[in-house]
Amino acid sequence: MKNYKVLIVLLILSIVSISSFSQSTSHEDSLKSAILTPPSSEKPRINGAKVFGVRPESPFLYTIAATGIRPMSFSASGLPKGLTLDSKTGIITGFVNQKGAYDVLVKAKNIRGTAERKLKIVVGETISLTPPMGWNSWNVFAAEVSADKVKRATDAMVKTGLINHGWTYINIDDYWENNHERKNDPTLQGEFRDANGNVQPNTRFSDMKGLADYIHSQGLKAGLYSSPGPLTCGKCAGSWQHELQDAQTYSNWGFDYLKYDWCSYGKIAADSSQGVPLYNHKGNDSVAAAYPYSLMGAALKAQKRDIVYSLCQYGMAEVWKWGPLVNGNCWRTTGDIIDTWKSMSNIGIKQDKCAPYSAPGHFNDPDMLVIGYVGWGKPHPTRLTPDEQYTHISLWSLLSAPLLLGCDMEKLDAFTLNLITNDEVIDIDQDPLGKAAIKVYSKDSLDVYAKPLEDGNIAVGLFNRSIKKATITANWKDLGITGKRKVRDLWRQKDLGLQSEKFETEVASHGVVLVKLSLMGK
């Protein structure tokens, strides 16, 4: 009798596990069928940023991103004095003293062939000439981030080959610092600062310099997070009254990126005893909102290291108008994104007002990507459908938005990987002109966005935000062009022939068709 009961329990358990296995495989199968981008060629193709800014005498690190089978050897002609290229890894390092724009020709060679492409290195005061691309810990790990998880994300960036498509930054968000509100978590209970005021990482991050060095050794860059207030949004240590000291610390550790999040600064800016411009909604807002960012902006600039400066204050006081004045390289334009259609599409359509302010070194940031395994400490597969994910990546690329993955890098399924390795789409995001697409047509939740590209061509997104499939037309007159254009479908990497006057196509509900319109011969 007892054996009989055990058998029944075993039977039930196996039925449950078989059905959940088949559910997950059918989910993955349906995702696979949504794959649009053909696999990368075995021949070399050079990807990533075509223009790269560095300040004189700052440490230089640029990895030539290239797809194609390995081994691959790299070479470059025209490199400015002070830079060397590792021919096996494609990593360029060194220091350049002389300001100027240098035209470099980089080459990648394997047994199938050779690719070459121009890289413009601009030694001057502006960095991040194309939108940052990489990963940030928040949308997946939130308060549970650790050095081990960051190191694993670094390894995954290389192992999955994402590094070969230009994905670069490995950014630690909140919770690398100590936190005295989460009393139950012993890993966060250390002092905020040592006796000399130096910020202390929590015990999950025992060796910040070692971690940044490791990230660099892989050809990637490291990012960090803080707040102008005394506490971050997660109530960890912020940089209030330690701005220069913290910037020095980040630089000594070797970090290349800082996300600076308003959070508890709101209380400081409302307190007349603090001696800072008050954020009082009485016409003084942009001065008060910019003030704490200008302090850290100057502190970062004083370092002998290029640190991309990401302002996070959710678009307050029209940050896009003054972000460049505080040395900001990108700025969040809205509140936090979550992985729903409503959140992503609402944020996406709100970008029109700031689009004209996008420029090399200065980008609007509609927040991080919500694809793959996300979930702020409780990860799950994104709730966006494949069509919605194509909309997300297409729109962010058209907007010249920073592309920061927020997912578990060790759980990238075939669909997600395909979605973020389409080099023709990434090229739209990384276009050196740095413009953000403008909505040129919008009716009944059908939108057409157009982005001028450096080579004189135009990227056009036809978006269907309605609940039914629909035919959408991109009219040349709305795009301000005339004559014949070659039309190329960028997700499918397929030429669609020549069109005059308009391009018309059917678009799935919540989906997109992303094309490039080229003049003949381009």
Active site residues per annotation:
261, 336
For the bound state, the minimum distance from the C-beta of residue 189 to ligand GAL, rounded and expressed in Å, comes to 18
Q: Which of 49, 61, 173, 219 binds ligand GAL (CB under 6 A)?
A: 173
Cβ closest to ligand GAL, residue 65 vs residue 142: 142
351-379 residues labelled b (16+ CB within 10 A) or e (exposed): beebbebbebbbbbbbbbbbbbbbbbeeb
For the bound state, the minimum distance from the C-beta of residue 175 to ligand GAL, rounded and expressed in Å, comes to 8
CB 106 within 8 A of CB 286: no
Cβ closest to ligand GAL, residue 91 vs residue 258: 258
For the bound state, the minimum distance from the C-beta of residue 226 to ligand GAL, rounded and expressed in Å, comes to 10
CB 402 within 8 A of CB 365: yes
**Cα gap 242→238, rounded to integer Å:** 9
Interface with ligand GAL in residues 234-253 (CB under 6 A): 234
Q: What x-and-dash track marks residues 503-522 binding ligand GAL by CB under 6 A?
A: --------------------
Cβ closest to ligand GAL, residue 145 vs residue 425: 145
Cβ closest to ligand GAL, residue 267 vs residue 494: 267
Angle at 267 between CA 224 and CA 146, to 5 degrees: 25
Q: What x-and-dash track marks residues 196-235 binding ligand GAL by CB under 6 A?
A: ------------------------------------xxx-
Provide the 3-class DSSP secondary structure of residue 453. coil
Interface with ligand GAL in residues 113-142 (CB under 6 A): 138
For the bound state, the minimum distance from the C-beta of residue 319 to ligand GAL, rounded and expressed in Å, comes to 13
Beta-carbon neighbour count of residue 251 at 10 Å?
21
Q: Which of 64, 312, 453, 507 binds ligand GAL (CB under 6 A)?
A: 312
Check residue 370 for interaction with ligand GAL (CB under 6 A).
Answer: no
Q: Which of 336, 410, 478, 501 binds ligand GAL (CB under 6 A)?
A: 336
CB 463 within 8 A of CB 512: yes
Closest residue to ligand GAL, Cβ-based?
233
**Cα gap 476→440, rounded to integer Å:** 10
For the bound state, the minimum distance from the C-beta of residue 144 to ligand GAL, rounded and expressed in Å, comes to 12
Q: Give the number of residues in contact with ligand GAL, rule: CB under 6 A.
A: 10
For the bound state, the minimum distance from the C-beta of residue 177 to ligand GAL, rounded and expressed in Å, comes to 11
Report the candidate in 253, 198, 266 with the shortest Cα–Cα distance to residue 227.
266
Cβ closest to ligand GAL, residue 290 vs residue 347: 347
Cβ closest to ligand GAL, residue 263 vs residue 453: 263
Q: Torsion-angle region of residue 498: left (phi > 0), alpha (psi -120 to 50) or beta?
A: beta
Check residue 261 for interaction with ligand GAL (CB under 6 A).
Answer: yes
For the bound state, the minimum distance from the C-beta of residue 206 to ligand GAL, rounded and expressed in Å, comes to 22
The secondary structure of 216-236, three-state, reads HHCCCEEEEEECCCCECCCCE
Element (H, E) at 321: helix 319-322
Residue showing tokens 């959940």: 20
Check residue 177 for interaction with ligand GAL (CB under 6 A).
Answer: no
**Cα gap 246→252, rounded to integer Å:** 10
Cβ closest to ligand GAL, residue 174 vs residue 306: 174
Provide the 3-class DSSP secondary structure of residue 186. helix
CB 463 within 8 A of CB 345: no
Where along the sequence are the contacts to ligand GAL (CB under 6 A)? 138, 173-174, 232-234, 261, 263, 312, 336
